[in-house]
């Protein structure tokens, strides 16, 4: 069975009140959604909270899913909105709070991150829209069409953002190589 049609079938059953299907969706999609959030936030707790909030929102709006359409773009659009809402809320709170202590600039990555910190560091200079497209395309494995649907943009726009991100990453990586090569000659 096609994995997408399996997800569509589970989502349709979930809409009809089959909570066994909901449990199956949660178990199947939570790991990749958690990675989607963990990739953006240093705190594993933030990623856990956003994942839980996403599933609550999905439960609330499950009636808006259109049977026969791909589940992943619909689901990632919800996750993306949750992430943006979280970011905006955090910025508002930070603007109102006085920092009594200096916080360390970078917290330790969660255990078992397996290079996630290096990847985060590499993607950090990219604009948010480009970083998001790269995450969805390369980390979660979504298609151009699914990313376009999830980000409410056209396929052409997704391609353009990906292309610009790839160019910036190439420049960054070649600069790193030059820096290493130049450092060894002194």
Q: Tell me, what CATH number does 179's domain have?
A: 1.10.1740.10
**What pLDDT does residue 8 have?**
93
* Per-residue model confidence (pLDDT) at position 108: 44
Write down the pTM of the prediction.
0.56
pLDDT at 103: 43
**CA–CA gap between residue 83 and residue 97 (Å, rounded):** 21
**Number of independent structural domains in the chain:** 1
- Pairwise CA distance, residues 62 & 39, whole Å: 25
Domain that holds residue 118: 3-185
Under 8 Å CB-to-CB from 37, ≥6 apart: which residues? 46, 47, 50, 51, 54, 79, 83
pLDDT at 104: 43
What are the per-10-residue average pLDDT scores of the chain (186 residues)? 80 93 94 86 80 94 90 92 83 61 44 58 85 85 85 89 89 77 55
Whole-number pLDDT of residue 2: 64
The distance in angstroms from the start CA to the end CA of the chain is 59
> What is the pLDDT at residue 14?
94
């Amino acid at each position: 069975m096609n994995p997408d049609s399996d997800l569509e079938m589970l989502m349709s059953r979930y809409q009809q009140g089959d909570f066994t299907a909901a449990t199956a969706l949660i178990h199947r999609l939570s790991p990749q959604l958690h990675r989607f959030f963990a990739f953006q936030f240093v705190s594993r707790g933030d990623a856990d909270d956003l994942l839980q909030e996403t599933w609550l929102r999905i439960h609330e709006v499950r009636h808006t899913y259109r049977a026969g359409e791909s589940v992943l773009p619909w689901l990632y659009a919800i996750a993306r909105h949750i992430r943006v809402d979280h970011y905006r809320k955090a910025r508002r709170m930070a603007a109102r709070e006085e920092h009594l202590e200096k916080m360390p600039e970078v917290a330790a990555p969660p255990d078992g991150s397996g290079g996630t910190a290096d990847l985060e560091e590499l993607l950090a200079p990219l604009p948010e829209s480009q970083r998001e497209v790269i995450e969805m395309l390369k980390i979660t494995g979504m298609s151009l069409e699914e990313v376009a649907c999830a980000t409410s943009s056209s396929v052409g726009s997704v391609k353009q953002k990906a292309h610009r991100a790839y160019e910036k990453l190439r420049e960054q990586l070649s600069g790193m190589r030059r820096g290493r090569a130049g450092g060894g000659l002194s």
